[in-house]
A = this chain, B = another copy of it.
Amino acid sequence: MEIRSGDYVFLLSSDNKTFLVKVREEKVLGTHLGNVLLKDAIGKRYGEVIYSQRGEPFIILEPTLEDRMMKVKRLTQIIYPKDAAMILLKTGIHSGMRVIECASGSGALTIALASAVAPSGKVYTYDRREDFLENARKNVEEAGLSELVEFKLREAHEGFDESGVDVVVLDLPSPWEAIPSSARALRGGGRIASLSPTYNQVEKTVESLRENGFVYIETIEVLVRKILVRSGKTRPFERMVSHTGFLTFARKAVFDVKGLVGTV
């Protein structure tokens, strides 16, 4: 598995900085530790080292899903990997599934969803802004996942084209506007996930889910605390990201559950 021109590599410097870059014969990566000629990586394997023109080492790593998500070109705030990880697990997205995403944003979550449904599923991603959609399309393309994704220019409240999908993921300012159409698009037992920063959005979202036949509704937030591990002086880092958003999950029932399953 030698690295060839056109492959992506994730370069790690000695001071733990990282660079996601496509290998090309003529390409030069400028870094704080000098220029790196990417042709030096051709023929090497992951885990090996190349050097900048100042003699500084860069380890050639293979980009993971998280690396790709974090390094997309951003026109919007992107979803954090911690939240994406929980969405993938809680919705039970897997190979072969059909998934709606709204909105596309910068495509970071689109990449995660496409990876999860590969090689045979499909992600339908909606955004109301053409510039965002175009940027997301490029980011998905660079991740080599274009065939798994359809991009659609549309307002969230205008509804979705698909039906019988397995999962809907909402990352919208007013997710409740898209919940009735999400309910129509989902198959029975299908899952929905919604990400919102404020308590107020969560309240309205959960109310709308209850009114639209969703059950097993759950809202959580995920906190990741980094630990500084040094022999004899280990402690949590002094600062952390305290809040990105609340995650709400639910599942679609195919009949009117009001009254019947009131406390769920």
Across-interface contacts of A82 in B (CB, < 8 A): 86, 222
Contact A89 B66 (CB under 8 A): yes
Shortest Cβ distance from residue A247 to the other chain B in the assembled complex, whole angstroms = 9
Given A14-B263, A85-B86, A229-B203, does the pair A251, B61 have CB atoms closer than 8 Å? yes
Contact B89 A118 (CB under 8 A): no
Given A189-B47, A224-B222, does the pair A199, B235 have CB atoms closer than 8 Å? yes
Say yes or no for A45: interface residue by CB 8 A criterion.
yes
Say yes or no for A30: interface residue by CB 8 A criterion.
no
Say yes or no for A29: interface residue by CB 8 A criterion.
no
Shortest Cβ distance from residue A192 to the other chain B in the assembled complex, whole angstroms = 12
Contact A242 B238 (CB under 8 A): yes
In the complex, identify which listed stretch (A20-28, A130-138, A154-162, A252-260) lies at the interface while the others stay far away.
Answer: A252-260
Judged by DSSP, the binding face of A is mixed
The total of chain A residues at the interface (CB under 8 A) is 91
Q: Which of A226-260 contact B (CB under 8 A)?
A: 226-227, 229, 231-244, 246, 248, 251-255, 257, 260
Say yes or no for A218: interface residue by CB 8 A criterion.
yes
Across-interface contacts of A84 in B (CB, < 8 A): 89
Say yes or no for A165: interface residue by CB 8 A criterion.
no
Contact A252 B47 (CB under 8 A): yes
Say yes or no for A219: interface residue by CB 8 A criterion.
yes
Say yes or no for A57: interface residue by CB 8 A criterion.
yes
Contact A66 B90 (CB under 8 A): yes
Given A82-B86, A85-B86, A240-B242, does the pair A229, B202 have CB atoms closer than 8 Å? yes
Known: A64-B91, A65-B89. 13 other contacts (CB 8 A): A14-B260, A15-B264, A45-B188, A47-B251, A61-B251, A86-B224, A95-B118, A197-B233, A220-B225, A225-B242, A236-B242, A237-B242, A239-B240
